[in-house]
Amino acid sequence: MDITIEELLKLMLNFFQDIDKQIQQITAEQSQKDLEREDILHYYENHNMNASDYCKYGKMLKEVLTERRKVKFDLDRANCIRDTLTQKYNNKLITGDIIKTLKELKAIDKRQANPKYVNRTNILEELNAKDEQI
């Protein structure tokens, strides 16, 4: 997979700008799983059930706990990345530098698409004058 510098910079910018949002989303998912777990446990506590019910709700509890473990793993990874990369460095400076670089690269591409050159000497005029004399 070939990736351009601009694409890489955009990915980096998204990473630094969105890591906290991602952590908030993952934390919300974990909270939801915690609530689901509590609902099942309270149902166990407050209802008389037969063996079939215990099996059914036990299976449901196991699924919720498995999903919660996956979410918790994702949260641990996201926190690790944030703590070792984004909090170590000043995010505002990094994102500002990335945005500035992207703007400058865009300006360079625009200049490259419509190149303009201002002659600094009159050597071409001298050449044209010699051609006219011949």
Whether residue 130 is predicted with pLDDT greater than 80 in this model: the reply is no
Provide the CA 76 distance to its chain's centre, in angstroms: 16
User: What is the model's pLDDT at position 90?
Assistant: 61
Whether residue 28 is predicted with pLDDT greater than 90 in this model: the reply is yes
Burial (CB < 10 A; 0-12, 13-18, 19+), residue 98, is buried
C-alpha to C-alpha distance for 56 and 11, rounded to whole angstroms: 44
91 pLDDT tier (thresholds 50, 70, 90): low
Residue 60: domain span: 5-133
C-alpha to C-alpha distance for 31 and 37, rounded to whole angstroms: 10
C-alpha to C-alpha distance for 24 and 32, rounded to whole angstroms: 12
Residue that is written with structure tokens 């949002």 in the block: 21
Q: What is the DSSP letter of 83?
A: I
Helix (H) or strand (E) holding 18: helix 5-46
User: What is the model's pLDDT at position 112?
Assistant: 84
Residue that is written with structure tokens 């670089």 in the block: 101
Query: How many separate domains does the chain show?
Result: 1
Q: What is the mean pLDDT of residues 30-52?
A: 95
118 pLDDT tier (thresholds 50, 70, 90): confident
Choose between 85 and 49: higher pLDDT. 49
2 pLDDT tier (thresholds 50, 70, 90): confident
User: What is the model's pLDDT at position 131?
Assistant: 67
88 pLDDT tier (thresholds 50, 70, 90): low
